[in-house]
Amino acid sequence: MNRRKFIALTAGAATVTALPKSLFSVADAQAAAAPFELPKLPWADNALGPHISANTIGFHYGKHHAGYVTKLNELAAGTPFAEMPLDKVVIEAAKAGDKPGIFNAAAQTWNHTFYWNCLRAPGGAAPSGALQQQIEASFGDFAKFRTEFVSKCVALFGSGWTWLVADGGKLAIVQTKDADTPAARGQKPVFTIDVWEHAYYLDYQNRRKDYVEALFDHLANWDFVAQNLAKG
């Protein structure tokens, strides 16, 4: 496969070993360069039901995520960004400060690809091993971590993302607005939940908390998070 393309997981696969390194670490920067492509989902579009319906996935992935990829290719065409890995587009567009369209399209392409791989069915429950130990060292225990993460998802005003990041040897929960991403700030994302309304409105209407709790308790892919952290 062309190295510029995203390496997607087989639908229903239980591992994340085929993911591009960039989804583990911005420093690895091995994601797709233009022409940027929409990666395949790591599971069937109905696999996350009843917590996320195939209808929501059809719009969220098939319309929104696909739309960001299309827009990125349109805006990057004929510019130096067209020859960069996706991670570098995010970082360089953020640095430039005068390329909001390219940054938004690139960051949302990256964010969504990462988000899909944070989910699996069945998922949720509490992590174990090294991840459990790091959560306890950073937050006290898993219950406190869950409470803080859900609260920050619910409290984020408007559209955006809530992330678990590795920063300075500890784990932290951060919020980003709109397309912003910790990947543009030198932080290492290891887990995220999308709290844009299009992520949940067809299934949950305005009940963002119910959506977040459903993902956290039933769909969170803690193996993916653990492998992200293990990459150092």
Biggest CA-to-CA distance, the chain: 50
Q: For residue 93, which phi and psi values (nearest 5 degrees)?
A: -65, -35
Q: Reply yes or no on whether the pLDDT at 9 is more than 50.
A: no
Strand 188-194's sheet: what is its strand order? 170-177, 160-167, 188-194
Q: pLDDT class for 232, splitting at 50, 70, 90?
A: low
Contact 161, 175 (CB under 8 A): yes
Per DSSP, 45 falls in state T
Q: pLDDT class for 168, splitting at 50, 70, 90?
A: confident
> pLDDT at position 70, please?
97
Q: Which tens digits make up the pLDDT trace of 74-131? A: 999 999 999 999 999 999 999 999 999 999 999 999 999 999 999 999 999 889 999 9
> Where do the H-state alpha helices sit in the chain?
54-59, 66-76, 86-96, 100-117, 129-139, 142-155, 201-204, 208-214, 222-230
Instruction: Give residue 44's identity as a one-letter amino acid code.
Output: A
Contact 164, 139 (CB under 8 A): no
Contact 208, 154 (CB under 8 A): yes
C-alpha torsion 145→146→148→152, nearest 10:
130
**For residues 158-179, b (16+ Cβ closer than 10 Å) or e, as one string?**
eebbbbbbbeeeebebbbbeeb
Q: Which tens digits make up the pLDDT trace of 11-68? A: 333 333 233 334 433 333 334 444 899 999 999 999 999 999 999 999 999 999 999 9
Going along the chain from its start, the domains and CATH numbers come out as 21-117 (1.10.287.990), 129-230 (3.55.40.20)
In terms of pLDDT, which residue wins out, 197 or 8?
A: 197
Q: Which tens digits make up the pLDDT trace of 125-161? A: 889 999 999 999 999 999 999 999 999 999 999 999 9
pTM of the model: 0.86
